[in-house]
């Protein structure tokens, strides 16, 4: 087990990928690196293969929507190197609509359903995904539920009295 520290990981990434690394920070002690979208798959593949880093466990990946931000749609990947016991968060953003990200399914089989869930919630497209379709919501649902503009409550209800709910 190699004792990794955040500075070292960040330095090695910068050395290898240069200007594809957009931003490095450590909120609450968790190394968080924002990278360019076109390089995210290569970066994750390199982190997977590199002998002393070995980020071979994909903890989670989920989407983000910032309607008021400069870059509206983001993906967040949480990686874990079990051999070194080090966690890393990678973020990548885009402004395209529908947003397109590379699929991680060739590297991690776990990414299959995680990306389907992100597609279901946000409408992100993942190039190279074997079976991108809705997973949790009904197939005929229109719209992307977790985007900020989608309403939480069922818009077709007729029995709720708006006056009682303060609307």
Partner 1 sequence: MNADSPAEKEYNTLNLGPTHPATHGIFQNVLKMDGEVIVSSEPTIGYIHRAFEKLAERRPFYQVTPITDRLNYCSSPINNMGWHMTVEKLIGAKLPKRVEYLRVIVMELARISDHIVCNAVIGVDSGALTGFVYMFQEREKIYEIYEEICGARLTTNIGRIGGFERDFTAQAWGKLEKFLAEFPRVLKEFENLLNRNRIFMDRTIGTGPITAENALNYSFTGPNLRAAGVDYDVRVMTPYSSYEDFDFVIPVGTSGDTFDRYMVRQEEMWQSISIIKQAIEKLGKLDDQTSFHADVPEFYLPPKEDVYNTMEGLIWHFKIVMGETDVPKGEVYHCVEGGNGELGFYLVSDGGRTPYRLAFRRPCFIYYQAYAEMIKGSMLSDAILTMSSMNVIAGELDA
Partner 2 sequence: MVEISKAPDGFEGPGFLATRLDKAVGLARANSLWPLPFATSCCGIEFMATMGAHYDFARFGSERLSFSPRQADLLMVMGTIAKKMGPVLRQVYEQMAEPRWVLSVGACASSGGIFDTYSVLQGIDRIIPVDVYVPGCPPRPEQILDGVMKIQELVENESLRRRDSEEYKALMASYGMQ
Candidate segments 6-14, 38-46, 143-151, 155-163, binder of partner 1 by CB under 8 A: 143-151
CB 114, min distance to partner 1, A: 7
Residues 93-132: x where in contact with partner 2 by CB under 8 A, - otherwise, as a string: ----------------------------------------
User: d(Cα 137, Cα 103) in Å, to the nearest integer?
Assistant: 21
Helix, coil or strand: residue 122: helix
CB 121, min distance to partner 2, A: 11
Given candidates 26, 38, 45, 109, which one binds partner 1 under the rule CB under 8 A? 109
59 binds, among partner 1, partner 2, none (CB under 5 to 8 A by kind): partner 1
Candidate segments 15-23, 39-47, 75-83, 156-164, binder of partner 1 by CB under 8 A: 75-83
Given candidates 148, 155, 166, 167, which one binds partner 2 under the rule CB under 8 A? 155
What b/e sequence results for 136-155 when a residue is b if at least 16 CB atoms lie within 10 Å of its CB, and e otherwise?
eeeeeeeebeeeeeeeeeee
DSSP secondary structure, 33-92, as one string = EEE-GGGHHHHHHHHHH-TTT---EEEEEEEEE-TTSSS-EEEEEEEEETTTTEEEEEEE
């Amino acid at each position: 087990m190699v004792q990794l520290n955040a500075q070292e990981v960040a330095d090695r990434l910068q050395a290898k990928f240069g200007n594809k690394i957009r931003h490095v920070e450590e909120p609450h002690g968790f190394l968080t690196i924002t990278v360019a979208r076109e390089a995210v798959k290569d970066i994750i593949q390199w982190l997977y293969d590199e002998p002393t880093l070995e980020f071979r466990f994909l903890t989670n990946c989920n989407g983000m929507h910032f309607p008021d931000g400069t870059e509206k749609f983001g993906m967040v990947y949480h990686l874990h190197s079990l051999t070194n016991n080090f966690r890393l968060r990678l973020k990548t953003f885009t402004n395209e609509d529908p947003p397109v990200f590379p699929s991680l399914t060739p590297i991690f089989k776990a990414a299959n359903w995680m990306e389907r869930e992100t597609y279901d919630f946000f409408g992100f497209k993942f190039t190279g995904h074997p079976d991108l379709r809705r997973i949790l919501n009904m197939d005929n649902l229109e719209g992307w539920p977790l985007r900020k503009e989608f309403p939480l409550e069922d818009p077709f209800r007729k029995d709720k009295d708006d006056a009682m709910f303060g609307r």
